[in-house]
Structure 1
Amino acid sequence: MAAKDLFHQAVKNALQKEQWIITSDPLKIEVGGTKFEIDLGAEKILAAERNNEKIAVEIKTFLSDSPVTDYHAALGQFLNYRLALELSEPERTLYLAIPVIVHQSFFQREFAQLSVERYQIKRLIYNPIEEVIVQWIN
C-alpha cells in the first residue's frame, strides 16, 4: 500500500462533514493488468434524484520546494487514474484535492490555469487546518 499524504485524514474528515460516505480508503482498481490505488472513494445520496453521486479523490499536499515538480507528478497520476476510472468505473468522477494555500498561490498562475483547463482537472480545494472543503471546481 502506498503511503498516505500528510493531509489524507483532513480531507477525509472534510468530505464526511459534507455528508460524503467514504466507501474506499484507498479505492483500489485494476485495469489492463495494472493496479491503482486512488486515495479515497466516496459517495453521496442525492435525495432529490434518489441517486448516488460517486467520486474518487486523489489528495496532494504540494509541500516540496517546487510546486511545479509536485504538479507534474500530480498531473501524470491524475490523468492515469482518470483513464483507469473511465474504463472500470465510468460513473465515478475524479477530483484532485489541493490545499487552499497552494490553490491561492500556484494555481492562480497563468500556466497552471491553462493546464487545468486543457486537461480538465476537477479540483477539490481544502483547508487542512480546519478540515473543510473550501471549493469544488468542475
Structure 2
Amino acid sequence: MLGIDLVAGYLLAWVLRRGQHASEQAGTEVDRVVDTRLRRLFELVAGRPDTASALERVVEEAESGRRQPTDRTRASVEAVLEQVAGQDGAFAAVLAEALADVADALAQQRDIGTVQGSTFHGPTAAQFGDHNTMRNTFGS
C-alpha cells in the first residue's frame, strides 16, 4: 500500500528545508542523493495539474518562515494525493517508486556514520549524531 502520509511528509519536509539546505549545509554526497530524490518526488507531484495546487500552500507557508506546515495544509496535501493516486494507478505506481527511492536514500544517510567490526587499541573517541543531537563516547 502506498504511504500517502509518508509522501506528504517528504514533500512538506523538502519544501521547508530546500531554502535552509543551501545556506546551512555544505552537503555530503548522501545529502545530495536525498535532496535529489526528494526533489524528484516533489516535481512528480507538482507537475500534475490536479496535485500542484495542493503544494502551493506548502510553498507559501515555507516562504513565510514557518518551520512546519499547518495541520490543515498537511491534511489537504494528503487528501489530494490519496484521491489522485486512487484514480490513476500509473501515477500511484510512479509515486510508490519515488517513495521507495527516498526511503533508500534516507536509509543510506542513516547508515553513513556506522562503525562495524572495528577494533581500536588505545584511547578512542567516537562521535555520532543526527544533526539534532550529538553523543560523544570516549573509551579504550
Q: What's the TM-score once normalised by structure 1's chain length?
A: 0.30
Q: Which has the larger radius of gyration?
A: 2
Greater strand content: 1
Q: Which structure is higher in helix share?
A: 2
